[in-house]
Amino acid sequence: MAVAKRVVILDYGSGNLRSAERAFARAGADVTVTSDHDAALEADGLVVPGVGAFAACMAGLKSVQGDRVVGRRLAAARPVLGICVGMQILFEKGVEHGVHTQGCGEWPGVVQRLDAPVLPHMGWNTVSAPEGSVLFRGLDPETRFYFVHSYGVREWQLTPGPGFPAPLVTWAEHGVPFVAAVENGPLMATQFHPEKSGDAGAVLLSNWLSTL
């Protein structure tokens, strides 16, 4: 019998921690919610959730040295999954109400307000996943995922160097196109909430666990 993968959901004061914990447990993970630095470093997979404002999430992340944990894990090619604002703070910068906040800088790009007639973007939406995606493996292109956000990354700015594979970027649209998910080696993230996306979210989480 296969041993369950050890997943830590990083508790830094933001995110749907219990719903994420239940979703990962249902997907077969041995899951712990903690802010413990060593546990986050040693787990097979680290999940960085996030809801609310970019600046508040970054402040919370830094308060538990989460930005350093993410950096150290990625330097050792150890998997990290960001969810919602937990994806946004992986980018270079967030701009909300004229306030510019530095993110983790794992990807270049700016998180900014969506240009849409109705905000927040709340509800179910399809996504356009690229060929070769692991996260969306086995899912129908018409599958819908659950989003709750007013901000997003509207331009993908990373150009890989020679010998490095291009990240796989999944897009969605609400008023304007925005990045819905990224698969970049050990670093993956979704703008939507897989833990609130029913059966489709469960498949995506299982697909991520299969990479650990």
What would the two tokens of residue 156 be? Answer: 């993908």
Confirm whether 104 is a catalytic residue.
no
- Active-site residue (options: 57, 84, 106, 183): 84
Separation between Cα atoms, residue 201 and residue 192, nearest integer Å = 9
Catalytic residue from among 21, 106, 183, 195: 195
CB atoms within 10 A of CB 159: 8
Contact of 172 with 126, CB cutoff 8 Å: yes
Measured between alpha carbons, how far is 165 from 204 in angstroms, rounded to an integer?
22
To the query of whether residue 131 is one of the catalytic residues in this protein, the response is no
Question: 2-28 as b/e, with b when 16 or more CB fall inside 10 Å?
Answer: eeebebbbbbbebbbbeebbebbeebb
Q: Which residues is 90 bridged to in the sheet?
A: none
Residue 41: other Cβ atoms inside 10 A: 15
Is 100 labeled as catalytic in the residue annotation?
Answer: no
The answer to whether the beta carbons of residues 76 and 69 sit under 8 Å apart is no
118, with CB counted inside 10 A (0-12, 13-18, 19+), is: exposed
- CB-CB contact of 206 with 27 (8 Å): yes
| Residues taking part in catalysis | 84, 193, 195
